[in-house]
A and B are shown apart, each in its own frame.
Chain A
Amino acid sequence: MELVCPAGNLPSLKAAVDNGADAVYVGFRDQTNARHFAGLNFTARNAGEGVRYAHQHRVKVFVAINTYPQPAGWTQWQAAVDRAAELGVDALIVADIGVMDYAAEQWPDLRLHLSVQGSATNVEALRFYHRNFGIRRAVLPRVLSLNQVRQVMERSPVAIEVFGFGSLCVMVEGRCLLSSYVTGRSPNTYGACSPASAVRWCETANGLETRLNGVLIDRLEANENAGYPTLCKGRYRVGGRVRYAIEEPTSLNTLPILPDLQRAGVAAIKLEGRQRSPAYVAQVTRVMRAALDACARSPDSYRPEPGWNEELAGVSEGVQTTLGPYYRPWQ
């Protein structure tokens, strides 16, 4: 299985390459990608440097152009596709049908991967993108169980990439509007969920309050860790109780099931976290490289080393890790 690692900037890209990535994925410094955060991502110039560095080390570069352009912004997405193609990248990670159609027509030799933001959870949806745009690979949304991943794999016309580690979306990606309901900006339209510009932290008599465009997302006691106030991971009142009504802040960790994913025929494992530091990228890449190598050598006797889990737990959101949708304790 190929190891696909996040890179929000050049130091992260080098950290991924140096620690065993097979491919890195990056975005340009604008709303054409789903990690549109201040200070993050690549200009055409340093993307060129990144591509050179990766290719010198025989590592592939994928460019995420995985948000949904509206008519007013269309030319920006078109320019991003052209720029990526001219840089000689190995694949585009795309979500929008219009963008895919443009890329397939303009750059027929450029490989297309369907982004998780493309929201394809089943084989018929994959057939649509394969039939119309010749996509070669798809990243599955983080809602499917391991058995459902297997079912998709059995009949999929394209190779399948799944998330192996990182922050989790509990909603099916590409069709979640919670962020724009509160802030006017969503992953689809703007490339960010619960954008930092809408976040306010305030120390009050009731504890540390986090607000998103004025809406109270959570209230933390002194002994609680303050994670990023992603709105689906806030505590709300439902049925008379205050609780994580939608999802606890946890991270996905698939170390225990790598042999199952390998046997199912998964082509690539993706690590989440383009917004994280180069140190994070180095650490998760190194751990996952060791795990994937061990799994490839002997899947039957593979066991995650305790040290790996500890290292990953140390960089996880909310400190806990989970198998997420693959094994569903809530099913």
Chain B
Amino acid sequence: MTQPTRPKLALGPVLYFWPRGVLQDFYRSVADTPIDIVYLGETVCSKRRAMRSEDWLELAAMLEQSGKQVVLSTLVLLESGAELGALRRICANGRYPVEANDMAAVNLLAAAGAGFVAGPTVNIYNARTLKLLARQGMTRWVLPVELSSATLSELQAARPPGVETEVFTYGRLPLAHSARCFTARARGVTKDDCGFRCQDYADGLMVSTQEEEPFLVLNGIQTQSARTFSLLDRLDQLQAMKVDVLRISPQSRHTERIIGLFHDCLSGRCTAAGASADLNGMAPMGYCNGYWHGDAGMALHRSG
């Protein structure tokens, strides 16, 4: 048996609204981690403009100097002409590859003949879609988070040459997007006068059931899972399936340690069981992995 090649590690875009200084400090410390790829940019809400595009490009240059591959991520939900204008500027940046999170970005990047990454909110559910987007210039795709390992296996078997596969392997799952801001709603303010209330919740605002069971997390217009999705204990399977890139989604604490644990497991410095024990306590509401098993996303299947 040939030794499977080691997947690269990617840090997904920060989904929350962190103050500019906090974000810059965060990426300075990310530069010192063994992460290979860093996705940068605001993907959730176009009103969040604490970081100007020059600020993002400065971070991109700093991370690139530290040996990271930088990808610029685009907005998931585009409604206004202004948002499309900003999208066009990112797609035409000419220096960094772009992660398309909506078909608008796919269209612009394909028309420009630029290679692109299709993010997790571009619906790639079957081989015909995968092949068509590859012909349009897609060089990497991220498996939609609701799809299972069984579906991924079949898509891997049909994958066109030259296309890398990335899997969301750690973090709270982005589940839905709306025109409406649920953080503003919870705080009793309108979207136009939101006062950036989402900045008060570094990891989103918890929604529990009436039985006090943590359920969802509100992050502005985005709704996430309360539980953290983790495939840290499935690294052997991911490697056997020839997955090229593993995505870790940033959280306000422990991200650097989580990157370290993934890296140590991949390089054989620790076992999945040992690393999973170390992870305990780094996800305040516990873990889930049901989607990977073709089950309800919130379910947790134990390994072994």
Q: List residues of chain A with CB under 8 Å of any chain B CB.
A: 68-72, 74, 95-99, 101-102, 119-125, 127-129, 131-132, 143-145, 148, 151, 170-172, 174-178, 180-184, 186, 188-189, 213, 215-219, 232, 235-239, 242, 245-247, 325, 328, 330-331
Contacts and interface: CB of A to CB of B under 8 A. Distances in A.
B279 interface: no
Interface string B204-235: 01111111110110100001010000000000
A175 B107 contact: no
Contacts of B294: 184
A interface majority secondary structure: mixed
Interface string B106-128: 11101100000000010111111
8 contacts: A144-B79, A170-B180, A235-B210, A236-B210, A242-B210, A245-B185, A328-B179, A331-B190
Contacts of A217: 209
Contacts of A129: 103
A186 B125 CA distance: 13
Interface residues of B, number: 74
A175 B125 contact: no
B206 A238 contact: yes
Given A237-B208, A237-B210, A188 B126 contact: no
Chain B interface SS verdict (over half): mixed
A216 B290 contact: no
B236 interface: no
Given A180-B146, A245-B207, A246-B223, A216 B298 contact: no
Q: From A95, A175, A183, A237, name the one whose CB has the most chain B CB atoms within 10 angstroms.
A: A175
Contacts of B212: 237
B128 A98 contact: yes
A122 B209 contact: no
B290 A184 contact: yes
B62 interface: no
Interface stretch (B147-155, B243-251, B255-263): B147-155
Nearest to B127: A71
Contacts, number: 211
A97 B80 contact: no
Given A71-B126, A238-B206, 14 more contacts: A72-B150, A97-B124, A121-B77, A121-B102, A122-B78, A123-B104, A131-B111, A172-B177, A177-B176, A178-B216, A236-B207, A239-B186, A247-B180, A331-B191
Contacts of A177: 145-146, 173, 175-176, 297
Interface string B283-302: 00000001100111111000
A69 B126 contact: yes
Contacts of A151: 80-81
B50 interface: no
B192 to A, nearest CB: 6
B132 interface: yes
A121 B179 CA distance: 10
A174 B123 contact: yes
Nearest to A151: B81
Interface in B167-185: 173, 175-182, 184-185
Given A98-B127, A184-B290, A144 B297 contact: no
B84 interface: yes
B133 interface: yes
Contacts of B146: 177, 180-181, 186, 188-189
Given A127-B107, A143-B179, A148-B80, A70 B147 contact: yes
B95 to A, nearest CB: 21
